[in-house]
Amino acid sequence: MPPHDRANPKLDPDLPTNVTRDPDDWVSGDDPMTGAQASHLKTLAEQAGEPDAFREHLTKAEASKRIDALRAKLKLFDGPPHAA
C-alpha cells in the first residue's frame, strides 16, 4: 500500500491512548516501574501521608494505579481548573 493511502493515526479521533487504557491492558505493564514513576509515586505517597504506598519493586501498571489513586486523594487532576 503506498504511504499516501494509509490512514494517519495522529488524525484518528478514536485512537486509544495510554491515558484512557487500563494499566492492566498495557503490553509493558509487567515491566518494572520507570524512574519517573518511582520519583512521582514517592513524592505523592509522602504528600498523602501514605509512605507505604511506595514500594521499590512495583510494575509499571501497579505504579500507575497507585499514582492515580494518590492523585485522586490529593485532588490533583490534569485538566483545567474547575469552576467553584
Residue-wise pLDDT for 35-45, tens only, equals 999 999 999 99
Percent of the chain with pLDDT over 70: 67
Altogether, the residues listed in the chain come to a count of 84
Least confident of 40-49, 53-62, 63-72, 75-84: 75-84
Confirm whether pTM is higher than 0.75.
no
Per-residue pLDDT, 84: 47
Q: How far is CA 61 from CA 14, 20, 82, in A?
A: 23, 13, 28
- Which SS3 state, helix, strand or coil, does residue 56 take? coil
Contact call for residues 59 and 30 (beta carbons, < 8 A): yes
